[in-house]
Amino acid sequence: MHILLHKIHNSITSSVYYTFTMSLVFFLFGFLLSSITSHVSARDFCVADLKSSLTTVGWTPNQFNFSTISATVDNFPALNGLGFSLARAELEEGATVPLHTHPDATEVVIAGSGPGKYTTGFITSDNVVYIKTLSEGDIFVIPKGLLHFGINSGKGKSVGFGVFSSENPSIEVLDLALFGNNLDSAILQKTTFLDIEQIKKLKTFFKGSG
């Protein structure tokens, strides 16, 4: 009987310790989870307002007459790890999105509303050109790394959206790469076959030197 009671006592004690230990584990886990996620709300996943006043990217307002706002992981942390980002652009009548490339991202262009017409296209690695004037709601895919452009070919303002296959896509603008630097104009003349006068004019326009 004494042995039986001792086993029962040990069993009860073990159960109490187990229950207490597990309760403590769940409490600490819950506290840790709460401390990590207490600041998270639906708002954290809806902070990129692509309808707000557009911000320029530094080289658009005077040279190309369009402005853009983007939602990347840098300003929209909810995109972290999701592998995509977005942008919205407004092109004034006659505006141009210059030849540029996204070395690490495919882009899907979606034509928005507006009286203008958005014409876009890209150039393949074997110099084949694909170009299309989009109507509202049309979608155009631009493969990763290819030179592409956009033009407002209609009357009035046009709006477009871009979705990128990277949460923080890079961009290289051809005009800036050529003329917004300090590469010697004589070298540019040899590599582009442009006149020195034209090169210097473009360097002044794009704030380059040399």
Which residues does the annotation place in the binding site for Mn(2+)?
A: 100, 102, 107, 148
Rounded distance, CA 99 to CA 88, Å?
17
> Looking at this protein, which amino acid is placed at residue 164?
F
CB 46 within 8 A of CB 130: no
Give the annotated binding-site residues for oxalate.
102, 107
Give the annotated binding-site residues.
100, 102, 107, 148
H helix runs in the chain, sequence order? 2-37, 174-179, 185-192, 196-205
DSSP 3-state assignment of 24? helix
CB 171 within 8 A of CB 77: no
Report which of 80, 96, 83 is spatially closest to residue 149, judged by C-alpha positions.
96
CB 152 within 8 A of CB 118: yes
Report which of 67, 112, 101 is spatially closest to residue 172, judged by C-alpha positions.
101
